[in-house]
Amino acid sequence: MFAILNENSIIIGGCAIYNIDFIHGVGEFGRIVIDGAYSGRGYGYLALKASIKLASIELGLSNLILEVMSSNKAALRIYEKAGFQKKADKDGIIQMECELNILDKVL
């Protein structure tokens, strides 16, 4: 679990990488929450990109997966922008996956 800080180092949200499977190199991203006063300012996207980098470099994972409600259009845009691809859509829940490539994420 990670805290999301604004430019004044005030905690404005959080996110997590969990269900980590080091044998298969997979973790699940989620539980991202941003204080409504700070939504729409790019903090969620920056936290996601930092989490991807951490998952790849620090944890040595090769894939991140997540589930998101199909009605959550803002989250879907951010996840797709960060490189997640839709893998399945069942009962209004979209499963997504991001193949982590260290060089692409660092450069």
The domain spanning residue 76 has which CATH number? 3.40.630.30
What does the DSSP 8-state code read for residue 67?
E
The whole-model pTM stands at 0.87
The alpha carbon of 53 is separated from its chain's Cα centroid by a whole number of angstroms, namely 10
Between 29 and 74, the more confident residue is 29
DSSP state of 5: E
What pLDDT does 95 receive?
Answer: 97
DSSP 8-state assignment for residue 63: E
Distances (CA, A) of 37 to 11, 52, 68, 75: 12, 25, 22, 17
Q: Identify the domain containing residue 17 by its residue range.
A: 2-106
Residue-level pLDDT at 102: 54
pLDDT in tens, 16-66: 999 999 999 999 999 899 999 999 999 999 999 999 999 999 999 999 999
